[in-house]
Structure 1
Amino acid sequence: MGDMRNVVADATGPVLVLGAAGTGKTTLVADAVAARIASGAAPALVFAATRQAASELRDAIVRRAGRTTLAPQVMTIHAFCLALLRRWADAEDALPTLLTAPEQEFRIRELLRGWRGSWPAELEAAVGTRAFAQQVRAVLARARQLGLDPDQVADAGAAAGEPGWVALGEFLAEYLDVLDAEGALDYAELVHRARILLGRPEVADSVRRQFGAVYVDDWCELDPAQIALVRGLVPDGIPVVALADPDTSIYRFRGAHPRASAEFVRLFTTPAGAPEVAVLDTAWGQGVTQAEALASVARRLGAPAVDAGAAQAYRAPRPTGQGRVQACTFADGATQARHIAGELRAAHLDDGVPWGEMAVLVRSGRRQIPPLARALADAGIPVEVAGDEIGLASELAVRPLLLALDVAGRGGVPDADEAHRLLLSGWGGFDAVSIRTLGRLLRGADAEVGGTPAPTLVAEALAGLRPVPEGVDDLADRRDLLAVAAARVTAGARPDEVLWELWAGTDWPARLRAEALRPGDGAARANRDLDAIVALFQLAHESAAPGGADGVRWFLAEVAQQQIPADSQRESAVAGRGVRVLTAHRAKGRHWAFTVVAGVQEGVWPDVRRRGSVFDAQRLSSAGLGEGVVTRELVASERRLFLLACSRAQGRLLVTAVEGTEGEDDRPSRFLTELGVPVRHVVDPPVRLHTLRALVAELRRVAQDAEAAPGLREAAAARLARLADATDADGRPLAPDADPARWWGLLAPTSLTSPPRGEVVRLSPSQLEGVLTCPRRYFLNREVKAEPPRSSTTILGSVMHAVAERAASGELTYATASELLDAVWADIPFPAAWLSASERAEADAAVERFVAWQSGHEHADVVGVEVPFEAAIEVDGEVVVLAGSVDRLERTPTGDLRVVDFKTGRSLPTQAEAAASVQLGVYQLAIEAGGFEQHAPGAHSAGASLVYLRHDATPGWPKDYRQPSLAEKPHLSDDPDELAHPTWVHHQVAQARRVLAEGSFDARPGGHCQWCPVRSSCPARSGQVV
């Protein structure tokens, strides 16, 4: 390193320094600049990749200089460009405002909405979508990176015969005109303007007099415009040192490319000769195994774009550490998280690795960080997630405030779903039981509500459209608060002012503060919630959103469009006292003693989904429109990101993946085997946790174990007694579960032979079916909220229901239905590109079947789609309320009602199973009980149908099953218990009510177990009690 430091510090011309991960490139820059300061040489100008990297590098230089000096010029290229424009702005001109990425995207959407130009007909349906705006923004940035003007983009489109690109060039011109009028710049335009300014001799001469050398860290992460700016800034004869690691160039989506190293050599070659190419040949902190693993991945990237000798030395640095590499797979994500938690804790307790010296890296922040961070925190691991790692809109504590702001911006009148979510949140302070009680109070207070569903009554009360029952002060307070917030919006208040009104007007701040100060697991969660809310207020305060309803819409769009990594509003330093959980992109420039690279799944890593389905920015070049990025290049970009993640370890590396049976994203990535180390499948990882709660559990197990030695049981009991008496500084028990008074099983078991009388049970059709299929799965999914996230197949079902809704409101053709699919398809999170293509083909076929079915039923009298209902029935002398909505409700010529339920599942029922469909049966019973009285008073059920859109009955026509009406077939069997009820559906409802009332949620094995999300803990599989 010493010789290399001299080469770099004493450079007299251009030097390209190649260094693999961990070879000390940034350290070399700090040493070289400090040496220049010590020698009294002319100041150096240093470019770093990010603001945080610039700050850390500046501090490192000052420490090495060892004496008081002016702060070295260390900055990002964007900071340099902004300072340049402000320094040379005309006196009468206002200083330019730099738009953040969300602000730019919002501005683009606003301009697209009001643009007077015209898009080709095939793009009209997509223009208003967020995906379209994102792709337009990417093309705008690409054009400026290449130095292209709007007319050149339009010319490229015309030459390629693509009118969409011609229109895009015209839109770019208007976009730049609007930003000029507003005195605003986006990041790409900022660099473009700075390049133009440096073209003025007096500007270039003035800037060049301020430095005697230029150092650029992470040269291969510069886009073409930034590279051109550096070349224009540095004249021949001035030392310029570029440090590059082509194998970990990861920002191709921002215009960077690993070939930038070769571009440096080309740009700085002069008649005096080519730049010197030096190589850092020592990998500090890496062991032999890790070096071999990294080299194994790097070999699949092809040779770097430098001469062969330098490339060979660059790819083979000498390891100096003792690190090791492990690769493991697991049956599911929960097992993976438990194993990672166990390894982190063992490293801390057994090996003495500080928490702050460990990190868990993932590919996708939005999808992978929240569940993994929660799982680690639940296992007692101190976790640190930077505020800008997760989009604000995804934070659970932020959602109710944004929803309340949205409602206030629309006059303070929420719909039933919005009211339910608001009241159930921390902002509302209600729970599910109190909301149901409120609905009954509202119904009892007004005899004229008729068939109005209880959720609608609650929403109307929250909106001030009906009186709040006496004694429900919390609801009255929230109603008044929404009304005040809505009035402030009408009066022109800014979003931050309205948000503060909504926040400070409740007791939620006090509840969160108390929870944050209380010991226990809830404190960490409350602190995270408070951090997120503070970040929301900071963003609102700094937002350029105007006042009034337009400002509310502006700000909500700004929050929703925040990307990961986010903009400066949420960049935050972490304390370094916990395990970092972050994306691989955010790990660049950092190292840890123990690094876990988690969730390395095929379809997630590599993620080769096309980002530009309409406009692919990578197609645009100085020569016109090309073919864009091929899949091979996307895989190479993802491989470089994986290599970067694995190279963050300076000691121990653990790479994990899930190898299950649930779909494409349950298959380990090809990258896992490219490491060249054995992949171990962990079947049953240790689950013992080193936490206070785990200690109490272990002591209780021993104390109650009749087969344990008496002395051991007595020792366990004595320790439990000490823990039960232990309190914190405020007198609160530290281990309340150590007190035998809180233990289950010490009292004699009670029995409940009949459900408690007078209790009203409320059930939806899906809940009823879930209870009857498997009470245990129902309880874990619905009550414990252990249900997994919605899959792409489930989301597809929602999309198809939206198509059906569109059909009921007007004429539907295959073309218009396909446009609906196009508008939403890019936002469906498919785990792999091929799966997206496959599902899209099936969706198109399903749409075609639906259009055919719709045309065959065009004369049907459609009462409505997604029609809500609520009906009270009596079973076994008790009242049960059935509530939900039907996909499609038709009126027959006799005035009766028929229900149609659309299905997008892959498996088909038998005719007997369809006839016994509990869901259809509930719909029919709701009709008979007056659940649709407001639509068809006195109507009876004419039966129901299941329409399976994924399957053909005849080519191009969906499979259709009919369920007889309850009048035709009131019972399905000769079971005496069933015959004791009016219909077979009454019997099913009675069974479900009995399960819920008794609280006996047993496991019921069956064919459904194959797809059960909670089967790993099912006692029916293991024969044990859980």
Structure 2
Amino acid sequence: MADGSGTRETAGTAETTGGRSRQDAMADAELRRRIGSSGTVDVRLDTGQDPAGAGPARRWDGLAGALVSGDPRVDHRLPYSVLGGPGTGKTSLLVDTVVNFLDSGGTADEVMVVAPSKEAAAALRDQITDVLRARDTYATTGTMVRSVHSWAFVYLRAVAQEDQTGRTAQPRLMTGAEHDLQIRTLLRGHAEDGTGQWPADIRPALPLVGFARQLRDLLLRAAERGVGAADLSELGARHHEPMWSAAGDFLREYGQIQALSATNNLNASELLHTTLAMLDDHPEVFDRHRGKIRLVLVDDAHNLDPASGRFISRFMVPGVRSLVAGDPDQCVFHFRGADETFLTGVAAVEDRRIVLSRSHRLPGDLVRAVNVLESRLPAHPTRVMLRDGGPDGPEGPEGPDGPDDGRAALAVRRSPSRTADTLTVTDEIRRAHVIDGVAWDDIAVIVRSTADIPVLRRALLSHGVPVKVDPTSVVLADQPLVRVILLALDALVRPLGGPEMQQLIESPIGGADPVMLRRVERAVAPVLTGTGMRAMDAVTAIVTGQATAEERERWTARFGPREHQVVERVSRVIEAGRAALEQKTSTSPVEAVLWAVWQAADLSTSLQVQALRGGTLGSQADRDLDAVMSLFDLAGDVVERTPTATLETFLEDVRSQELPTGGRDRRGVRPDAVEILPAHAAAGQEWDVVVVAGVQEDSWPAGPTVGGLFGQQELVDLVDRGIPPEIPVSRAAAALSEERRLFLLAVSRARLRTLVTAVDAAGDDTSVPSRFLDEIGGVAAADAAGSDAAADAETAAEAAEAAETTVAPALPRVLALEPLIAELRDVVCDENRAGHERDAAAHNLARLAEAGVYGADPDQWWGVAPPSTTGPAVAPPRGGAAPAVRISPTTLETLDDGCDTVAFLRGLTGGASTEAMKVGILIHAVAEGFATGLDYDDARDIVAAAVPYLVDGPAWTAAPLAESCLTAVDRLHTWILEREGLGRTVEVERTLERTIGTTDGGLPIVLAGRTDRVETDADGRTTVVDFKTGRTAKTKKEAAESRQLAAYQLLVDGEPGMTPDGAMLVYPRRETSTVTVLQQAAMGPDELEEFRALAVDAAARVTGPVFQATAEDCESSDYACLCPACRAGEQVI
């Protein structure tokens, strides 16, 4: 009952009779005539320009037209609802209502437009601004459009400002990342101090990030429902839920800490309840502000939580024009507390309901797909089935259904692999841009979760597609440029390690690549010979200013201009930051230091130029600039919150934030790039072309969300529905409906075309396409069968079940230059292809080369140019010495295994840094320490502390590795003590070197190696000991014939005062009770001469420049990918 009189609805049109004057009845009759007999609103685009020149004007009929125009005969004692599916014009109706209100003399201060999020508010604000921009006579200083939290903050701040008692502190809204950090910090204190009321079996989980996330989720759900600390504890005690009681105690302590900090920090959930309570306590302030509001409009009301609905309802009083728009079938934020109850409550009044059923965005196929999905959702009285837009529907460049290329507006593509799926997405986007002329920023890729974004982003960028990723999808500290800037700031407060300095030099700040960094290290290394100092340590000292002037001059003596430039760039940044840090100020130096570092890096201009040029590099530059701006925003927030914050505190704050957070968007235009975003972020947005990628059964639909450790969902059921937690509730159906609504939202974002992709790998049970693909797969078949726009949803669904969709080829061809050139080159070089095909490919390559396309000219192909040299591959001479071929005992051992290539490459690179190699370095260091006086207990402590940093696998593997290493230390210590009893002179890590011959070209061959341990008795008889830290050992025969041990004996033979007395391999880590020792007998003069000749021949094998590829057991080699004899290297070029 709207006014106490009888009401009825005729075809959705409000009709009121009885209890009113004759004049009112005549007015109602006129209004009914204008509304027409159908309550389904008809909206048309007027092809003429509106009076203000703002573009095509929309014309609304019926009740919608009366509300938009502000007809005085419309009763505004209760709010009106606007219901409609995707693209039916709900937002447009609100925009036109605002514009007409302002044209009629209203002001922005009298308008309250509410959106569920700041992103939705920004989009709605832009739409209104686009219309008002053409009106020269209109200007305003007010903000009409805000998110619901922004409106709540406005009124909460107004109350705080007008509070004469001074007891109300100015509110401050926290980000989700900051709230998460505060919770984790307090939990860490509970874990360390043993405080808090947590159950004993739960305490080990307190420091874990997942525990803090679940606790935060519970607190947010409680705050959204007005459940405070005492209420939560009481509910836990009443229903025997100890985690609720403990969370209530935690919330009480959290509130006490906030009170002690003298700040009024609020998260989004607390903000609304705090505002409502404050407005109740200060009704005079609220009434004064509410009295100014004459128009209240709410968009996407289905995404509001109950507290938001109560807040907005405060403004929808009799006499205020109020419209609430939404679609319950698009509510996809239940996990954040959203509830369509507010919308359905307003829409329950039937004579105040406006129904928009014609979609002006979606082509016919997509309209039918949406109806199919909606027909499978739980029924509700406010559902609106879509009608096809028809001739007045969306018009693309080539007509109402988009480009006339024979492609359907909705396509489903199944690929046999994830790679093929990624290429399918890439090809669709490139064809839409290149062939159909769709702008990059009018294309979007929607995925189920942020975890799916990186792979697609890399694929698109590699094919020349500029990409935009919402910053809220990536943690700020994980942004590449931010990570580098934080590293530069680290250099101001602590010494950087070698790997960290390497990362800084190879970053945009240093501007070096790995080759240039290697040149820097090689220039420094000869000067450090005999000092025991690593080249990277010297470079670090130069860059950070720790080197003296004399050391800097000596270490950089071999630098060229480019090497000097790289080092100076990083050094300049660190010096600028240090100078800013040393300035004495009364406030935090964080912002000043950050600005000094950024300015000295001199990246802003280059990034700005790249961003403005667009393309793939432009999209990355745009992303980097956004990340840096967010970092500055965070620095400002930290200083504002804690004026005395130190640089160390700021760095810890940034790195401690585990949740992505959006920055302040200052851009006036959208970047010209394809956006990749998770499905939830697509709410309220639209593009010309949309690809919904990776729709798999295991992720879409995802399984039902359980209450977790804290029973969050059980708390929601108890508070919202009165279901006690002890009653089992199945959430499978609700979860499936939520996932179907999310999929519906994703496929209804495109104006021209939507492509849905999935992986359907034969024989792979983990790659199953989603059931949703079968539901929408037959809409085209339904159309071919003759179903019209008003087809029954059941008919469409049956057709969907019977239809088949397209299966993509094994590896789709992508419409891009790189794969095109690759295919043409493959045809040209394939002698088995037909002659005319090779001629055509060569002709096309020539045309591309003439156009300047890189890679089309054969001169640019790898493997086509002649070798750069036919001489021996000899390392550059060191310290001015003459060129020589240098081999090591290890190289000779590798050659004995049969692979010349591995021996050569390992001599250059040293091999990959594996866990086994790192363990070996640690054990060798302990052995050296024992020989030079290292205490046994100290050695064990060092090993126990170092092992956790050596593991490459899961953290739990550190414990068994530590046990194995400590056992090796024990055995090694016992063995070395026994050897010391022999009375021999011991040397460790001694370098032995000897010229053993010359090559055919006259180059000397130098055998050189560093021994682990050399023992010499009083007669000069010398034994070489080589420690092996592997778990497996050679056989006695293999050790007796070992080329490595023989090489050591040959080196000893060349030392004055030494005679070879054999060599041994010592294994301290084998699964035996003692150290395993394998001997090689002393070699006589004839044996040594025979081995010297063998070593000279081996040296010729490792100087190349041509190496024999041998099909040995080397598939696990670090260099298998470079060897054509291995599967991994069958095609090197």
Shorter-chain TM-score above 0.5: yes
Which of 326, 335, 338 lines up with 1:253 in the alignment? 335
Partners of 2:812 and 2:607 lie apart in 1 by 34
Q: Does 1:3 align with 2:62?
A: yes
**Residue 19 to residue 510, structure 1, CA distance change in 2 (3 Å):** closer
Q: Deviations over 1:277-317 (max 9, x none)?
A: 553222223233323333343444x314x32xx43xx2454
Kindly state the Cα deviation for residue 151 of structure 1 after the two structures are TM-superposed.
1.3
Q: Does 1:103 align with 2:103?
A: no
Structure 2 matches for 1:106-145, cutoff 5 A?
Answer: 106-114=181-189, 117-120=195-198, 121-145=200-224
Decide whether the 8 Å contact of 1:427 with 1:503 is kept in 2.
Answer: no
Q: CA RMSD in A?
A: 6.0
Q: Which secondary structure state, in structure 1, belongs to the residue aligned with residue 484 of structure 2? A: helix
Counterpart in the other structure of 1:495: 590
Q: Does 1:153 align with 2:248?
A: no
Counterpart residue identity of residue 379, structure 1: H
Counterpart in the other structure of 2:984: none
Kindly state the Cα deviation for residue 230 of structure 1 after the two structures are TM-superposed.
2.5
Which of 637, 648, 660 lines up with 2:749 in the alignment? 648
Kindly state the Cα deviation for residue 404 of structure 1 after the two structures are TM-superposed.
1.9
Counterpart in the other structure of 1:73: 144
**Residue 527 to residue 261, structure 1, CA distance change in 2 (3 Å):** closer
Decide whether the 8 Å contact of 1:153 with 1:165 is kept in 2.
Answer: yes
Counterpart in the other structure of 2:738: 637
**Residue 616 to residue 695, structure 1, CA distance change in 2 (3 Å):** same
Q: Deviations over 1:975-998 (max 9, x none)?
A: xxxx979999x999999x77xx86
Q: Does 1:373 align with 2:468?
A: no
Counterpart in the other structure of 2:1029: 899
Counterpart in the other structure of 1:286: 362
Kindly state the Cα deviation for residue 57 of structure 1 after the two structures are TM-superposed.
2.8
Kindly state the Cα deviation for residue 416 of structure 1 after the two structures are TM-superposed.
2.8
Decide whether the 8 Å contact of 1:214 with 1:234 is kept in 2.
Answer: yes
Aligned length in residues: 889
Partners of 2:992 and 2:62 lie apart in 1 by 87
Kindly state the Cα deviation for residue 752 of structure 1 after the two structures are TM-superposed.
5.2
Q: Which secondary structure state, in structure 1, belongs to the residue aligned with residue 480 of structure 2? A: coil
Partners of 1:881 and 1:658 lie apart in 2 by 54
Which of 150, 157, 168 lines up with 1:86 in the alignment? 157
Q: Deviations over 1:387-428 (max 9, x none)?
A: 555443333222211122234233xx0123322222222223
Which of 198, 201, 217 lines up with 2:279 in the alignment? 198
Q: Does 1:325 align with 2:449?
A: no
Partners of 1:554 and 1:237 lie apart in 2 by 51
Q: Does 1:361 align with 2:446?
A: yes
Counterpart residue identity of residue 49, structure 1: P
Counterpart in the other structure of 1:801: none
Which of 477, 481, 484 lines up with 1:400 in the alignment? 484
Counterpart in the other structure of 1:575: 670
Q: Does 1:28 align with 2:28?
A: no
Counterpart in the other structure of 1:540: 635
Q: Does 1:48 align with 2:111?
A: no
Counterpart in the other structure of 2:929: none
Partners of 1:460 and 1:33 lie apart in 2 by 64
Structure 2 matches for 1:451-600, cutoff 5 A?
Answer: 455=536, 458-459=539-540, 462=543, 467-468=551-552, 469-471=555-557, 472=559, 473=564, 474-475=566-567, 478-479=570-571, 481-482=573-574, 485=577, 488-489=580-581, 494-506=589-601, 525-526=620-621, 528-544=623-639, 546=642, 550-558=646-654, 561=657, 563-564=659-660, 566-570=661-665, 572=667, 574-575=669-670, 577-600=672-695
**Residue 556 to residue 249, structure 1, CA distance change in 2 (3 Å):** farther
Kindly state the Cα deviation for residue 72 of structure 1 after the two structures are TM-superposed.
7.6
Partners of 1:686 and 1:8 lie apart in 2 by 52
Kindly state the Cα deviation for residue 900 of structure 1 after the two structures are TM-superposed.
6.3
Partners of 1:68 and 1:414 lie apart in 2 by 58
Partners of 1:595 and 1:518 lie apart in 2 by 24
Decide whether the 8 Å contact of 1:598 with 1:656 is kept in 2.
Answer: yes
Partners of 1:962 and 1:454 lie apart in 2 by 40
Decide whether the 8 Å contact of 1:1005 with 1:1020 is kept in 2.
Answer: no
Q: Which secondary structure state, in structure 2, belongs to the residue aligned with residue 283 of structure 1? A: coil
Kindly state the Cα deviation for residue 941 of structure 1 after the two structures are TM-superposed.
5.2
Counterpart in the other structure of 2:1067: 943
Counterpart residue identity of residue 725, structure 2: G
**Residue 50 to residue 267, structure 1, CA distance change in 2 (3 Å):** closer
Decide whether the 8 Å contact of 2:225 with 2:306 is kept in 1.
Answer: yes
**Residue 688 to residue 554, structure 1, CA distance change in 2 (3 Å):** closer
Decide whether the 8 Å contact of 1:16 with 1:275 is kept in 2.
Answer: no
Partners of 2:371 and 2:1072 lie apart in 1 by 59
**Residue 94 to residue 1022, structure 1, CA distance change in 2 (3 Å):** closer
Kindly state the Cα deviation for residue 149 of structure 1 after the two structures are TM-superposed.
1.6
Counterpart in the other structure of 1:886: none
Which protein has the larger Cα radius of gyration, Structure 1 or Structure 2? 2
Partners of 2:531 and 2:742 lie apart in 1 by 60
TM-score, normalised by the number of residues in structure 1 = 0.70
**Residue 870 to residue 130, structure 1, CA distance change in 2 (3 Å):** farther
Q: Does 1:340 align with 2:425?
A: yes
Q: Deviations over 1:826-852 (max 9, x none)?
A: xx9xxxxxxxxxx99xx99x8998899
Counterpart residue identity of residue 220, structure 1: H
Q: Which secondary structure state, in structure 2, belongs to the residue aligned with residue 329 of structure 1? A: strand
Partners of 1:604 and 1:962 lie apart in 2 by 51
Partners of 2:616 and 2:746 lie apart in 1 by 30
Partners of 2:83 and 2:769 lie apart in 1 by 32
Q: Deviations over 1:464-487 (max 9, x none)?
A: 555441235444664575366357
Query: Which sections of structure 2, spanning at least 5 residues, go unmatched?
Result: 1-40, 42-60, 69-73, 394-400, 402-407, 779-803, 879-885, 920-938, 975-987, 997-1004, 1012-1023, 1053-1061, 1082-1089
Q: Which secondary structure state, in structure 1, belongs to the residue aligned with residue 508 of structure 2? A: coil
Counterpart residue identity of residue 653, structure 1: T
**Residue 99 to residue 702, structure 1, CA distance change in 2 (3 Å):** same
Counterpart in the other structure of 2:977: none
Partners of 2:643 and 2:148 lie apart in 1 by 34
Query: Which sections of structure 1, spanning at least 5 residues, go unmatched?
Result: 725-734, 791-796, 798-806, 829-838, 864-868, 884-893, 902-909, 931-937, 947-959, 971-978
Structure 2 matches for 1:832-847, cutoff 5 A?
Answer: none
Kindly state the Cα deviation for residue 539 of structure 1 after the two structures are TM-superposed.
4.0
Partners of 1:368 and 1:560 lie apart in 2 by 24
Which of 1058, 1062, 1078 lines up with 1:967 in the alignment? 1078
Counterpart residue identity of residue 851, structure 2: L
Q: Which secondary structure state, in structure 2, belongs to the residue aligned with residue 192 of structure 1? A: helix
Higher relative CO (Cα under 8 Å, sequence separation at least 6) belongs to 1
Kindly state the Cα deviation for residue 590 of structure 1 after the two structures are TM-superposed.
1.5
Counterpart residue identity of residue 632, structure 2: F
Q: Deviations over 1:604-638 (max 9, x none)?
A: 44455969754454343484783799662445433
Partners of 1:1007 and 1:660 lie apart in 2 by 31
Decide whether the 8 Å contact of 1:5 with 1:31 is kept in 2.
Answer: no
Decide whether the 8 Å contact of 2:1068 with 2:1074 is kept in 1.
Answer: yes
Which of 663, 672, 682 lines up with 2:808 in the alignment? 682
Partners of 1:982 and 1:195 lie apart in 2 by 93
Decide whether the 8 Å contact of 1:219 with 1:261 is kept in 2.
Answer: yes
Percent identical pairs in the alignment equals 27
Counterpart residue identity of residue 329, structure 1: R
Partners of 2:300 and 2:990 lie apart in 1 by 66
Q: Deviations over 1:569-610 (max 9, x none)?
A: 357565364433333222211112211112334544445596
Counterpart residue identity of residue 149, structure 2: H
Q: Which secondary structure state, in structure 2, belongs to the residue aligned with residue 485 of structure 1? A: helix
Worse-superposed segment, 146-155 or 116-125: 116-125
**Residue 518 to residue 185, structure 1, CA distance change in 2 (3 Å):** closer
**Residue 857 to residue 584, structure 1, CA distance change in 2 (3 Å):** same
Kindly state the Cα deviation for residue 196 of structure 1 after the two structures are TM-superposed.
0.9
Q: Does 1:244 align with 2:330?
A: no
TM-score, normalised by the number of residues in structure 2 = 0.64
Q: Deviations over 1:758-785 (max 9, x none)?
A: 589999x9xx99x999999x99xx99xx
Q: Does 1:422 align with 2:504?
A: yes
Partners of 2:307 and 2:225 lie apart in 1 by 6
Q: Which secondary structure state, in structure 2, belongs to the residue aligned with residue 199 of structure 1? A: helix
